[in-house]
Amino acid sequence: MYRTRRLRKTENIRRLVRETKLSVDDLIYPLFIEEGENIEAEIVSMPGIKRFSLDRVSKELDEVVALHIPAVLLFGVPSKKDEEGSETWNDKGIIQETIRFIKKNYPNLYIITDVCFCEYTSHGHCGIILDNDVDNDATLVNIAKQSISHVKAGADMIAPSGMMDGTIAMIREALDNKGFMNIPIMAYSVKYASAYYGPFRDAVDSAPSFGDRRTYQMDAANRDEAMRKATFDDAEGADILMVKPALSYLDIIRDLKNNFDRPIACYNVSGEYAMIKAAGEKGWINEEKVMMESLRSMKRAGAAIIITYFAKDVAKILLNR
Ligand code: PBG
Ligand code: ZN
């Protein structure tokens, strides 16, 4: 009889045959930076995660660097919003100032910026509104402006999250024309219209004031469409393809891994984080083990990179091994 249990006998043999290993090298830590002073605000539905003003964020960044987390993903919370989200391309805006601050004080930390408008628009949608919907092509023009502004401030990589068609081609051309041909783009290629984003929208005040995002984010029922969307981003020059959320979409991560010769990233989103934290706090699950198991499943599915609010928690566990 072939006995599969032979290779499970002890931890040492299990280590030898283990197929998937989580590493600190895989992790990107999202950071929320709010315009203003003296802000260190707990996000109620995301225990352990805070919004910081620039003058208070150093301790957090010290920790990220000490834990060897390679990169942060920046989200800005501006003090003023308008119809277009024009603060996003203000060279003195909150994200631009944050990039300069990090580059100056933490020169080895890799900076990725979220490129979108929902935290900056008065209506909370991811672009310019025309006839009660986001106007794709008008928004593209502003996406290019925002991207250039981030890169001029020193961003190492940009990650457009708005799901407008033609985003990657637009940004690639804009960056190349300005001499930024070496700045990579991480495409939110397959981003679903998901209820798992709830805690994030509370955190950065970006919930749409009318309607929802289903005309630009993908229908959660669709798998073939994910391939179609990733195919376009790939052809337009995306350097990394991302799937978001992660845990309910592991099949999509694997599809992309099998079909594209690009590093695949996934976004372990706020709702996924909140569920594990909440059940852990109640003592209903072993928080640490469930966290490790769910992140490992994303790697097993094919993600090379995991964007996660758990990054510091995971890093602490891995470094203490
Ligand atoms: C929107 C955006 C979302 C997230 C980050 N940027 C989703 C949304 O509000 O539709 C969600 C991240 C998370 O839930 O952790 N551009
Ligand atoms: Zn958005």
Closest residue (by CA) to atom 3 of ligand 1? Answer: 197
Q: Which helix (H) or strand (E) holds 76?
A: strand 71-77
Question: Of the ligands numbered here, which is closest to the C-alpha atom of 123?
Answer: 2
- Per residue in 272-307, pLDDT (tens digit) is 999 999 999 999 999 999 999 999 999 999 999 999
Q: Give the β-pairing of 133-134 and 129-130.
A: antiparallel
The set of residues, in sequence order, having a beta carbon less than 8 Å from that of 284 and lying 6+ positions away, is none
For residue 124, is it left (φ>0), alpha (ψ between -120 and 50) or beta?
left
Q: Which two tokens stand for residue 107?
A: 């020169």
Query: Could you tell me the pLDDT band of residue 92, with boundaries at 50, 70 and 90?
Result: very high
Ligand 1 in reach of 192 Cβ (< 6 A): no
Residue-by-residue DSSP string for 173-206: HHHHHTT-TT--BEEEEEEB--GGGHHHHHHHT-
Ligand 1 in reach of 270 Cβ (< 6 A): yes
The number of angstroms, rounded, from the C-alpha of 116 to the middle of its chain's C-alpha atoms is 12
The rounded distance, in Å, linking the Cα atoms of 63 and 58 is: 9
- Per residue in 147-162, pLDDT (tens digit) is 999 999 999 999 999 9
Query: Could you tell me the pLDDT band of residue 205, with boundaries at 50, 70 and 90?
Result: confident
The set of residues, in sequence order, having a beta carbon less than 8 Å from that of 47 and lying 6+ positions away, is 277, 278, 281
Q: Which helix (H) or strand (E) holds 137?
A: helix 136-153
Closest residue (by CA) to atom 11 of ligand 1? Answer: 197
Q: Give the β-pairing of 264-268 and 305-308.
A: parallel
> Probe ligand 1: pick from 28, 163, 197, max atoms within 8 Å of CB?
197
CA max distance for the chain: 70
Assess whether pLDDT exceeds 90 at residue 202: no
Q: Ligand 2 centroid to 155 CA: how many Å?
A: 19
Q: Are 170 and 140 in contact (CB under 8 A)?
A: yes
Assess whether pLDDT exceeds 90 at residue 244: yes
Q: Is the pTM of this model over 0.85?
A: yes
Ligand 1 in reach of 191 Cβ (< 6 A): no
Query: Could you tell me the pLDDT band of residue 204, with boundaries at 50, 70 and 90?
Result: confident
Nearest atom within ligand 1 for CA of residue 198: 14
What does the pLDDT average to over 187-193? 98
The number of angstroms, rounded, from the C-alpha of 279 to the middle of its chain's C-alpha atoms is 23
What does the pLDDT average to over 167-189? 98
> Probe ligand 1: pick from 115, 189, 247, 269, max atoms within 8 Å of CB?
269
Q: Helix, strand, or coil here: 118?
A: coil
Query: Could you tell me the pLDDT band of residue 321, with boundaries at 50, 70 and 90?
Result: confident
The percentage of the chain sitting over the pLDDT mark of 90, rounded to a whole number, equals: 97
Q: Are 237 and 155 in contact (CB under 8 A)?
A: no
Residue-by-residue DSSP string for 17-72: H------GGGEEEEEEEESSSS-EEE-TTSTT-EEE-GGG-HHHHHHHHHTT--EE
Question: Of the ligands numbered here, which is closest to the C-alpha atom of 85?
Answer: 2
Q: Are 109 and 68 in contact (CB under 8 A)?
A: no
Domain 21-319, architecture per CATH: Alpha-Beta Barrel (3.20)
Q: Are 64 and 102 in contact (CB under 8 A)?
A: no
